[in-house]
Amino acid sequence: MIATTTEIRVRYAETDAMGIAYHGSYITWLEVGRVRMLDEVGLPYRELESTGYRLPVLEVHAQYFQPARFDDLVSIKSIMNQMPTVRMRIDYELHCADRLLCTGYSLHAFVDNAGAPTKPPKHLLEKLREHFS
């Protein structure tokens, strides 16, 4: 199991006319959490791309509990509960202080530069295995 936490501050651009963060903004925040997780694992997404891999999103889900507001400091916890196979699933928990804002998950495929499905890169699996043994 891998869990990493990163923080963002809500931008004005991310709010909407309800006076709170637009629900779609959270989808981008999940991306921020996911990218930081791969950084911490030691295999930045940028590097994955440069070695010919892409991790397109197959599925995304978010459940909203409390609103975030402009300038709120939102902590994004990203959790990988199991080793990726042909799919990689990441779960998320977003908090502002001790308020739970949102939970969600994203499901990803591994594809090569041509967009064809492929196995997860070996060096990614090796890096991840350290965390699951």
Distances in Å between the alpha carbon of 117 and those of 41, 53, 76?
23, 10, 29
Complex with a copy of itself: residue 1 or 116, whichever CB lies closer: 116
Site pattern 80..109 for a copy of itself (x: CB under 8 A): ------------------------------
Residue 19, phi-psi category: left (phi > 0), alpha (psi -120 to 50), beta (remainder): left
Query: What is the C-alpha separation between 42 and 65, in angstroms, rounded?
Result: 32
Q: Does 60 bind a copy of itself (CB under 8 A)?
A: yes
Complex with a copy of itself: residue 63 or 81, whichever CB lies closer: 63
Query: What is the C-alpha separation between 2 and 120, in angstroms, rounded?
Result: 17
Residues that bind a copy of itself (CB under 8 A): 11-13, 15-20, 22-24, 27-28, 31-32, 35, 44-46, 49, 54, 56-64, 67, 69-71
